[in-house]
A and B are shown apart, each in its own frame.
Chain A
Amino acid sequence: MTAVLTKPSRGVLKPSVSSPSVMPPPPLISSPYGSNLQQNGSHSNSFTPSVAPSIPPYGQPPPAAFHSMAQSPPPVQQLTNQMSAMDIAGYGQRPLQSPSNSAAPQFLNSPPPLMGHPGHQMPSPVSSPLMTSMGPIPGGPMAGSYGAQMAGPQTAGIPGSFSPSGSQMAGPAQKKLDPDSIPSTTQVIEDDQIKRGGQIYVTNVRGQVPPLVTTQFTVQDQGNASPRFMRCTTYSFPCTADLAKQCKVPLAAIIKPFATLPENETPLYVVNHGETGPIRCNRCKAYMCPYMQFMDGGRRFQCAFCSCVNDVTPEYFQHLDHMGRRVDLYERPELSLGSYEFVATLDYCKNNKPPNPPAYIFMIDVSYNNIKSGLVKLICEELKTLLERLPKEEGAESSLIKVGFVTYNKILHFYNVKSALAQPQMMLVSDTAEMFVPLLDGFLVNYHESNAVINNLLDQIPDMFADTNESETVFAPVIQAGVEALKAADCSGKLFIFHSSIPTAEAPGKLKNRDDRKLVGTEKEKTLFQPQRGVYEQLIKDCVSQGCSVDLFLFPSQYVDVATMGDVPSHTGGSVYKYNNFQVEVNGQQFLSDLRRDVEKFIGFDVVMRVRTGTGFRATDFFGAMFLKNTTDVEMAAVDCDKAVTVEFKHDDTLSEESGALMQCALLYTTIGGQRRLRVHNLSLNCSSQLSELYKSCETDALINFFAKTAYRAILNQPLKAVREILVNQTAHILACYRKNCASPSAASQLILPDAMKVFPVYMNSLLKTPVLVGSTDLSTDDRVFHRLLVNSMGVEETQVLLYPRLIPLHNMDVSSEEIPAPLRCSEERLSDSGVFLLENGLTMFLWLGHACPAELLQNLFNVSSLTHLSSEGLQTVKQKDRAELLFRQLLIEDKGLHGGASYMDFLCYVHREIRQLLS
């Protein structure tokens, strides 16, 4: 990919067009900036080392490298600028910029280099210094081209503290660059889909970069874990720590150990080595995998991770062929596949006893709010059918998972639903100070055996509390009760808690409203995100040691301190769901489908995860819904198919290009059928002493996942502003390093982006505009915290769509085709008054109706004649110019943020300027 630079044809970007002289008066812009920068400089040192110092290399997936080489370099337009005045001292401590420097960055992108589109590398129009005259660059010619766009220099667009100048910038007098000229995510996605979609991705090559997460492809495991299980920020690690430091590209893997595989991919093989248990290296305890080197006629093997030479036990002995490979290579999954499972022996079980099947406990808040909203009735009705579909072991006749029921307000009610009973029995525990489980036998039962009693109970619960006027609730004791119940039954399991309000009743874990928006934007803002410690900290430990995962469904009508309430779920492999002002008619369906999925999904319990690496580097930090007991063992009460753990790696020695970078993620867990298993994922990466290799092998989606998680963790300890600055600086630094080391020399005013990271800025900008990082008093604290918790356990697929929502035009959809129309760029400009658009980011979905959308369409869709007749009740339907449109607009991430945050264009400009400062 060095190509990008060496061959200007790729990497070169259209010059942007603003003439300094025309630029709006600098002070407007720079003053917000200036202060930001200063902040940055002063705070970046305090940022957690895991984030700040890692400057990563750059890379582009190799396949992508082959096109566009031969392109002729597009002319690079250069605009005048006065950037030269800038004096950049370095990443960490940047001196203040003089406000007089107007930002007029030039953008260089790799020009649209596809062979197929030579036409696109048309020289970008030479922008005359007068932006105004340019107007939007016609999108036409650019369409379908990739890289090269020219960004309109925007004076304004600065991330961060924006507002006044931002709005001013948006004024009509502003010259505008053609938005189509800047790198388009939808385009990148579409291109990858075209290029690699539908193909079989064979994992037999070390360090090969997988297709994008958005691309449909089939994986064939031939020695490396599927990218569905493990995805890395780059597939070529720098050989030395220095290089890594220089480029600041983070080295990380996002591991989703139980990722759901499409039906056409083979499920993992289960290997049973009998009583001896899995074969492991004696020294580093790595499990047998394709990278182990057999020698000595098969009598010994050398560990690929620690180089220790181990004897092969007689039972496992096998001869080697002429290639030095075992003859049974292809009969043994652990020798030929990247992912497989071992049956664990008793040594791997708690107390050396085989585990019991897990239990699911449903704990329903029956205080006034939940009764009134009809939620309790809804849950009880749903459970009657849902419990039929509890997950079961493959091939098993019925689920072995036991179920139990608790209702509570400020006291807890347990239910005895033993099959022998004619009626369920209710046991009330009001001693919430020291919670305990009042019964053993009959609390956790097999659903099929106790079916009648359970249904009887579910019928009665809504009636029993129909007249309640109890509005106080407890929370920590509820979790405690669940843990105690599992403890008593000696099993792991999951709690489903349906909760409505902040727990104010006198009990451990009582919370008070600490939602002080005045703190937003101050040093103390972080306290809003920090959970209350004490009881909850202990609960987390209890939960994890018992293998008790907590899923929390919140139905708040006001502040409930999600930061604290979500603390236990987010450390036990659980999920938090939140339905503000829940109404059955409005959110009922959404809740039910969440619940169904949550109950039915594949999950493993009582998990210990260990990531082993080859010599030279190691896993140093972990992000996810988990608990770290020590620096290496990740403990999770449970992991389900949606949970991902992001692992950061650091060098502790030099890596060799020859041996590459190997990693093995081993996950010990209990299946839903109560079996102890070990799941092993292996992945081998390349190493290179060339930064260009690194940049070539970068994975933007994985990178942004890593950045999101690190930033969301950092805000617990640092001021928001500092975190934002660090993100921006690192972005600039990564790109500047690329420019400096990998791109061919070109004018400073050009913005040159590595091909693999072309759309990195748009994601980064979107990340900066997420509720968590935007720091606006208009946003509810709970929502911000909630968002933070969500992202914490997300995999790459989820962060990708979250940060770049899909905007699908529906109005001219071909009804006869199954094809979903290609998503559009997330910008208001893409909307049309007469259109109907669907916008979704994985969490929310909007149907946007333009005010001029055809009556016929409305008639067909909603059976109303005009928009005015359509009531917005139907949720998520947003009419143009509606109040609800604000929420919708928040997701149009290429535009300027509602609560602050730059537009994509502005951000690019800003980053460009930063880069130039770094380079100069």
Chain B
Amino acid sequence: MATYQEFIQQNEDRDGIRCSWNLWPSSRLEATRLVVPVSCLYTPLKERPDLPPVQYEPVLCSRATCKAVLNPLWTDYGVLGPQSGFLINLFPPSYAGISEVNQPAELMPQFSSIEYIVQRGPPSPLIFLYVVDTCLEEEDLQALKESLQMSLSLLPPNALVGLITFGRMIQVHELNCEGIAKSYVFRGTKELAPKQVQEMLGLVKPATSGQQGKPMAPYDGTASCRFLQPVQAVDMNLTDLLGELQRDPWPVPQGKRPLRSTGIALSIAVGLLEGTFPNTGARVMLFTGGPPTQGPGMVVGDELKTPIRSWHDIQKDNARHLKKATKYYEALANRAAVNGHSVDIYACALDQTGLLEMKCLANLTGGHIVMGDSFNTSLFKQTFQRVFSKDYNGEFRMAFGASLEVKTSRELKVCGAIGPCVSLHSKGPCVSDNEMGVGGTCQWKICSLTPATTLALYFEVVNQHNAPIPQGGRGAIQFVTQYQHSNTQRRIRVTTIARNWADAQSQIQHIESSFDQEASAVLMARLGVFRAESEEGPDVLRWLDRQLIRLCQKFGQFNKDDPNSFRLSESLSLYPQFMFHLRRSPFLQVFNNSPDESSYYRHHFVRQDLTQSLIMVQPILYSYSFYGPPEPVLLDSSSILPDRILLMDTFFQLVIYHGETIAQWRKAGYQEMPEYENFKQLLQAPLDDAQEILQSRFPMPRYIDTEHGGSQARFLLSKVNPSQTHNNLYAWGQLGLGSSLHYIIRVPCQPSIKTEKKRRNLERQSSQMTLVCRFSWTISRNWLFPVQPKLLLLISEDCTT
């Protein structure tokens, strides 16, 4: 068998799966002792150009409690097979000719992931409901209008589109009218029950006494279609309508914020879709330029002298509207989620816009959050365009109304999931009582997802210590994702994985070497971030520290009283490094971040795939110089040199930093002189690389071009490990809390010389972007971990007591 690295890579490519452990401890007790739970990152819709969907219904196990989908594992009677009864009887007639050499696709090992196209009712059109804030500066509004008009050309022609605008009041625009433009207007201060909204929009007959109002059937035309029309039919109309959109006309007195009724606007959007297209894929796209200032869901009052809540206020319990607003948006988010509608938030403003309160709308429904300074920035414009990007088949990279079901073999139970999902409260036999993330269910709803959407799933080994699994047995997990494809087909993606059981006592080395530290880091990080949403920051940090220390205790080797003797095997060597950066990351540290920013960062962290997540945890740094080709360097202050240009990618920011000398040269204009063509090229190189990243990432990162001494250099300085700048406030100021662990792990060793060689190898196989990421790991794999064991142990005692 190939190395674990290759195995992991292969599995990820095929199934979109990364497991924390690739050998599973065979008993509950042992599993607990491993610290990092049996868990995996799963990317349900991972792009598989090589996997054509099959056009028939999946075959299910006939046992009511199982209903597993036919899969390669069934042939070897390993895991799902035995519980699934008599397989042969199950096969429908079309499977009659089955034999060792003539197998249906789903029985072949390379189809451990398979996609079915199934017929379920009439195809439902995609629905896009724009909810547009009109309390914007003229320039912003203009830019937004243009973006929206442009987006019409990106939508599938048969998609339904709707428009709600809001400011002090909310307008729901009718799109099918000739002549006079009609809109229904609602006041922004009054909470309306879903039913009232539907009545007021004329979607249902009001319930008159004694006679129940009966909702219009979905698709039944006239009523619902007034507001949601096929793009191709109302293209012109809507373009004009958007063109005529005016800023909210109500005067805003001096010293006041505009009255912005975001809360009601969203409740109407949700109510409208709920009443017309329940259980159909739909996106509510909120474009807002400021915080909700009135009505339910208000985040801040309209008095400018009262600033919007900060972390400080929240910690001091001084945020008046926080709880109420959060509760309000959560209720909305749940309503949307129940109906399979997702909510995107595009918030562009210099100040906060209330993402903290509204984040659940996107988090629970799989919507996007995009945060920018203005709608008139390429950050917003391009990110928004990218929502409608298409894949290799020319189809939108978005799917709707998905549900993910997890089935496990009986030794395992599922504890929960962390990702853009909500529980479907489906209690199966494989549901654990021990909840991690969103638990207590084996099915989750993911209202909207992209090929990159990745969930973390946590499991529990339930096998008792005294009933070991026979050697060579395998545990299996099946993921069944039903979703509405962007081409309106219903599809089912089934991924089945299996891992060998291992006895933790006799095979601890094997288990150790099966450790996927990258996946584990991300899985633990998600747990940490999930906790951080509900717990105090220091508690989460302490918990993370404790986990790290326990892991080091379990797998580290050292001689007592000899710090220098501490060693971790290669499969764990990077893990502490990741934890170090995670502790400093904005996902867990709120210092210097607004509540909105924290929410924004966390939002993306819990849904990106492994590669992106790692970039977020530990930004990558590239160095450009005359001394050779660009190279990845340590995220350390020692990497900042006068004659280098640095490119740092933190996922959210892309920083190009010109060293002191370079900056002087550039200022002197050498790049303009023909004889310094090479300097010009040197300047250009990081720009080109940055451009590549900018082109492909969603959301588009903030692009920062700075130099030694520039004010924006802080973005770089705050990220690097301050090994050489002892007084650097950016780095240390935010680390005031927590244990002293960071003192221990803060000094990375020098990079190995092998780096360059590896880089070249990788270059051949990956696109540049992934390459950039890979580098980071490759380099860091070779770092050592010079911890002082004595101190470490001391702390571990601290932490455990």
Give A residues with C-beta under 8 Å from B: 411, 414-415, 421, 423-431, 434, 436, 438-442, 457, 460, 464, 506
Q: Is B200 an interface residue (CB 8 A)?
A: yes
Interface pairs (15), CB distance under 8 Å:
A411-B200, A415-B180, A427-B184, A428-B182, A428-B184, A429-B186, A430-B184, A430-B200, A438-B185, A440-B249, A440-B250, A441-B246, A441-B249, A442-B249, A460-B180
Count contacts on B: residues with CB < 8 A to the other chain.
Answer: 23
Point out the residue from A425, A436, A439 that lies within 8 Å of B187, measured CB to CB: A436
CA distance A431 to B183 in the complex (A): 13
Bound-state CA distance A464–B169 (Å) is 25
In whole angstroms, how far apart are the Cα atoms of A427 and B190 in the complex? 18
Q: Is B201 an interface residue (CB 8 A)?
A: yes
Contact A414 B185 (CB under 8 A): yes
A428 nearest in chain B by CB position: B184
Contacts of B244 in A (CB 8 A): 421
Q: Which residues of B contact A425 (CB under 8 A)?
A: 180-183
CB distance from B360 to the nearest CB of A (A): 27
A411 → B minimal CB distance (Å): 8
Checking A426, A431, A436 against B200 with a beta-carbon cut-off of 8 angstroms, the contacting residue is A431
Distance between Cα atoms of A511 and B181 in the complex (Å):
32
In the complex, are the beta carbons of B184 and A429 less than 8 A apart? yes
Judging by beta carbons under 8 Å apart, are A423 and B180 in contact? yes
Contact of A426 with B206 at beta-carbon distance under 8 Å, contacts A436-B169, A438-B171 already known: no
Binary contact readout B191-215 vs A (1 if CB under 8 angstroms, 0 otherwise): 0100000011110001000000000
A441 and B250 CA atoms in complex are apart in Å by 8
A431 to B244, CA, bound (A): 25
Contacts A430-B199, A431-B200, A438-B171; is A423 near B186 (CB within 8 Å)? no
Residues of A within 8 A of B186 (CB): 429, 431
List residues of B (206-265) whose CB comes within 8 Å of A's CBs. Answer: 206, 244, 246, 249-251
What residues on A are CB-neighbors of B180 within 8 Å? 415, 423-426, 457, 460, 464
Q: How far is the CA of A430 from the CA of B198 in the complex (A)?
A: 10
Q: Which residues of B sit under 8 angstroms from A436, Cβ to Cβ? A: 169, 187
Query: Does the CB pair A431–B179 fall under 8 Å?
Result: no
Smallest CB gap from A506: residue in B:
B206
Q: Among B179, B184, B202, which residue has its beta carbon within 8 angstroms of that of A460?
A: B179
Are A423 and B181 within 8 A (Cβ)? yes
C-alpha spacing A464/B181, complex, angstroms:
12
**Known contacts A436-B169, A506-B206, A427 near B185 by CB under 8 Å:** yes
Give complex CA distance A71, B399 in Å. 110
Contacts of A440 in B (CB 8 A): 249-251
CB distance from A427 to the nearest CB of B (A): 5
| A429 with B181: CB separation less than 8 A | no
How long is the Cα–Cα vector from A436 to B187 in the complex, in angstroms? Answer: 7
Given contacts A438-B171, A440-B250, contact A427 B183 (CB under 8 A): yes
A434-B187, A439-B185, A440-B249 are known; give 11 further A-B pairs, CB within 8 A.
A415-B180, A421-B244, A423-B181, A424-B180, A427-B183, A428-B183, A430-B202, A431-B192, A438-B169, A440-B250, A460-B179
Residues on the B chain within 8 Å of A427, using CB: 171, 182-185
CA distance A427 to B171 in the complex (A): 8
Give the nearest-CB partner of A416 in chain B: B181
Residues of B within 8 A of A423 (CB): 179-181
User: For B201, what are the chain A residues with a Cβ–Cβ distance below 8 Å?
Assistant: 430
**What A residues does B249 contact at CB under 8 A?**
439-442
Instruction: State A442–B171 Cα separation when bound (angstroms).
Output: 15
Contacts of B169 in A (CB 8 A): 436, 438
Q: How far is the CA of A896 from the CA of B36 in the complex (A)?
A: 106
Residues of A within 8 A of B250 (CB): 440
Q: Which of B531-553 contact A (CB under 8 A)?
A: none
Residues of A within 8 A of B199 (CB): 430
For residue A486, give the distance in angstroms from its CB to the closest CB of chain B.
Answer: 15
CA distance A352 to B95 in the complex (A): 90
- Bound complex: CA of A434 vs CA of B200, how far in Å? 13
Contacts of B190 in A (CB 8 A): 431, 434
Cα-based distance from A452 to B187 in the complex (angstroms):
30
B139 to chain A, nearest CB (A): 19
Instruction: Give the nearest-CB partner of A488 in chain B.
Output: B250
Tell me whether A426 and B187 are in contact in the complex, defined as CB-CB below 8 angstroms, given that A438-B171, A506-B206 are known contacts.
Answer: no
Q: Nearest Cβ distance between residue B171 and chain A, in whole angstroms? A: 7
Closest to A430 in B: B200
A460 to B177, CA, bound (A): 12
Q: How far is the CA of A415 from the CA of B179 in the complex (A)?
A: 13
Taking CB atoms, residues of chain A closer than 8 Å to B187 are 431, 434, 436
Residue of B nearest to A425 (CB): B181
Q: How many Å lie between the Cα of A436 and that of B185 in the bound state?
A: 9
Contacts of A438 in B (CB 8 A): 169, 171, 185
Within 8 A of A (CB), among B153-186: 169, 171, 179-186
Which of chain B's residues have a CB closer than 8 A to the CB of A431? 186-187, 190, 192, 200
| B183:A426 contact, CB within 8 angstroms | yes
Q: Quick one: CB contact mask for B269-281 with A, threshold 8 Å, 1 for yes?
A: 0000000000000
Those 9 A-B pairs whose CB atoms lie nearest each other, nearest first: A438-B185, A430-B200, A441-B249, A426-B182, A428-B184, A425-B181, A427-B185, A440-B249, A436-B187
- Which residues from chain B contact A429 at a C-beta distance below 8 Å? 184-186
Measured between beta carbons, the chain A residues less than 8 angstroms from B200 are 411, 430-431
Cα distance A393–B399 in the bound complex, in angstroms? 65
A99 to chain B, nearest CB (A): 54
| Distance in Å: Cβ of A484 to nearest Cβ of chain B | 10
Q: How far is the CA of A414 from the CA of B169 in the complex (A)?
A: 14
Q: Give every chain B residue within 8 A of A464 (Cβ-Cβ).
A: 179-180
Expressed in whole angstroms, the Cα–Cα distance for A434 and B188 within the complex equals 12
Question: Which of A421, A423, A431, A440 gathers most chain B CB within 10 Å?
Answer: A431
**CB closest chain-A residue, reference B181:** A425
A421 to B246, CA, bound (A): 11
B312 → chain A closest CB, angstroms: 37
Q: Please report the C-alpha to C-alpha distance between residue A414 and residue B179 in the assembled complex, in whole angstroms.
A: 15
**Residue among A421, A430, A434, A440 having the largest count of chain B Cβ atoms under 10 Å:** A430
Q: What is the distance, in angstroms, from B173's C-beta to the closest C-beta of chain A? A: 10
- Residue with the greatest number of chain B CB neighbours at <10 A, chosen from A428, A439, A457: A428
What are the residues of chain B within 8 A of A434 when measuring CB–CB?
Answer: 187, 190
Question: Chain B nearest CB: distance from A286 CB in Å?
Answer: 40
Task: Specify which chain A residues have a CB less than 8 angstroms from the CB of B181 in the assembled complex.
Answer: 423, 425-426
Contacts of A441 in B (CB 8 A): 246, 249
Residue pair B179, A428 in contact (C-beta under 8 Å):
no
A426 — which chain B residues lie within 8 A by C-beta? 180-183
The CA of A394 and the CA of B251, in the complex, are separated in Å by 33
Residue of B nearest to A434 (CB): B190
Tell me the minimal C-beta distance from B609 to chain A in angstroms. 45
A482 vs chain B, min Cβ distance (A): 16
| Nearest CB of B to A337, in Å | 44
